[in-house]
A and B are shown apart, each in its own frame.
Chain A
């Protein structure tokens, strides 16, 4: 695992001058992922914050070859690029060197509209890495709910109103859906835990075959939190097991860092309130007595998922 000093000597693949919000968790994540390997990368991004803010004509923040196609097809598009690479290498029309392919999609473009295209690409076994920067809603279009939005969250299409306290229903577990495709490598991480994310990104990119990273990306705007809460949010998400850090390598589950310590009983698992109270999108749950029931539902799902994860990791 290279040190930060060694990483700082690498050439960055994203430039400054992009127009993601001040304090955007996704841009930190993407920077860390792109610097994790020295192999050449060709990237694709689905429509969303990342793509829109990094490529406002005539400016591009991408220093590597990049394609944006549409919203739901980052995985299908990168399948095409990767296949052409293999086709041309086979025919000797391009030099025989290793190139890696990384597709980026937000939770909207991955959990929802892009799920089919992701599933297809994983099943066909293309050599690529799919990175989902999960900020838990359709942020680019103005904070609408996605299937990654946690229960109770206030979004513009699941607002907290007089009768309904924010998003109803729990969020999907995409990492588990991906795991069901039997891919060589899949992992969950978050950029505040940069060593964890960089290590996993390097592994994901440098492993042959379809690999997946689900990266919780704090969004100050959509989560109604301070930009400076970035590290706190990441830390608390892990400590409450809202976002456990783990990897699945050839079907074997490994828990990482703080998540492992909690599973081993060496650290306390914090109640979900600690995570919720950091963000304005949940503040209505604390004001209204009806919010209590929602918080309980949120907690019980976290607990169920946590127990399942521990079982899968044989703990």
Chain B
């Protein structure tokens, strides 16, 4: 029996962590992750979890301690945002290359400067090549569900790679919605016991982590990581299916809405998918053939499935909450165009960069996007490949 509670994303992720009861958590405060860790610290102080909580002196040390703890041989979790994620940057690569199954919540917040505490995806997009899996959650329910699945995905014996779960800062983390929570025992059974691989604490089989590779071995070690990443999609799907059985909620690589006969579509991540879905409902009532694709798992990117769901679509608009700064278009635009490149028949793709630093986006703006896509579909002309929504000139 699932219990319904009114929770925001920071709360729901913290509740999930409480039910998982990881062995070690090492974290440092940063807006808008703060409430998440404060909640967890309270659980810890009340004895609700037996976690060893290390309140470190920086995010760099947070991820460093997570690496040490995970290599020692137990279940490790943490959470951060923005500058904190940026500060851990070098260690993110190390965590992934040491194949440590760390699960981390990233509450999306813009990277400085100037300093901004509100939502955009520059932080998680900035770490998309670190070798971590990246999963975006639209609302507090998904934040809860993703956190639980992340542990199983990361620890899967075919994978053993760290996973970061994103949720939009303030928009999701601080906005209360209904969250249906599984029972403690159900979560415990789902995550199961941690199976250590090459733990430092196994004194009988001493291992060395982190040697110096010269040019004769580094490439081979990277190939192993690349090979593991190639299995990541299968694992995300497998765990998603298993989670559906216990929760009734379906999770795969992406989600579609109104795509069955869509002529134009918007591809979007995270909370803006909610706004987009509502816009699609309205436009559909007016008889417009529009649809939405919500990307859940950004790394690995769902290339095959995306090609499939976009069949027959004439024009696609990607909604990017970060910019490429020197690239031709922003990350989601780039991934989408690249995915479609080899197809004989493919939609036209245009990019809309929006919401930087928490700039709001509403149904009016998205309706406008769909009008533009419709115009491109009918005229065959793209006035502007890359647009910036809602910015004052």
Contact = CB atoms under 8 A, between A and B. Distances in A.
- CB–CB under 8 A between A and B in the complex? yes
Interface in B184-213: 200-203, 206-213
Given A69-B64, A87-B50, A120 B56 contact: yes
A55 interface: yes
B209 A66 contact: yes
B125 interface: no
B64 A77 contact: yes
A120 B23 contact: no
Given A70-B90, A72-B60, A116-B57, A81 B212 contact: no
B208 A60 contact: yes
Nearest to A19: B212
Interface string A31-68: 00000000010101000000110011110101111111
Given A65-B200, A76-B68, A77-B65, A83 B213 contact: no
B225 to A, nearest CB: 15
B58 interface: yes
Interface of A: 40, 42, 44, 51-52, 55-58, 60, 62-70, 72-73, 76-88, 90-91, 93-94, 99, 116-117, 119-120, 123-124
A69 B58 contact: no
10 smallest beta-carbon distances between A and B, as pairs: A80-B68, A120-B57, A80-B65, A68-B210, A80-B69, A84-B72, A76-B61, A73-B64, A76-B64, A55-B211
Contacts of B55: 124
B23 A84 contact: yes
Given A69-B210, A73-B60, 5 more contacts: A40-B203, A68-B208, A79-B61, A83-B52, A87-B52
B206 A79 contact: no
A56 B212 contact: yes
Contact of B58 (A62, A84, A88, A120): A120
Given A69-B67, A83-B52, A84-B24, A56 B206 contact: no
Given A83-B24, A88-B74, A120-B57, A77 B208 contact: no
B54 A80 contact: yes
A56 B214 contact: yes
21 contacts: A51-B212, A63-B206, A67-B208, A72-B60, A73-B60, A80-B66, A80-B67, A80-B69, A81-B68, A83-B52, A84-B23, A84-B68, A84-B70, A84-B72, A84-B73, A85-B201, A87-B74, A88-B201, A94-B73, A117-B58, A124-B54
Contacts of B214: 56-57
B337 to A, nearest CB: 35
A198 B243 CA distance: 55
B94 interface: yes
Contact of A88 (B26, B54, B71, B73): B73
Contacts of A81: 68-69, 71-72, 200-201
Majority SS at the chain B contact face: mixed
Give the contact-size bracket for chain B.
35 or more
A79 B56 contact: yes
Contacts of B217: 57-58
A44 B68 contact: yes
Contacts of B202: 65
Nearest to B221: A57
B91 interface: yes
Contact of B201 (A65, A66, A70, A79): A65
A209 to B, nearest CB: 16
Contacts of A66: 200, 206-209
Contacts of A62: 206, 208
B57 A123 contact: yes
Nearest to B220: A57
Contact of B54 (A44, A57, A58, A79): A79
A46 B72 CA distance: 17
Interface in B43-100: 50-52, 54-58, 60-61, 64-74, 76, 90-91, 94
Interface centre among A65, A66, A116, by most B CB within 10 Å? Answer: A65
A60 B211 contact: yes
B57 A99 contact: no
Interface string B222-240: 0000000000000000000
Contact of A76 (B60, B70, B76, B207): B60
Contacts of A77: 64-65, 67-68
A74 to B, nearest CB: 9
A81 to B, nearest CB: 4
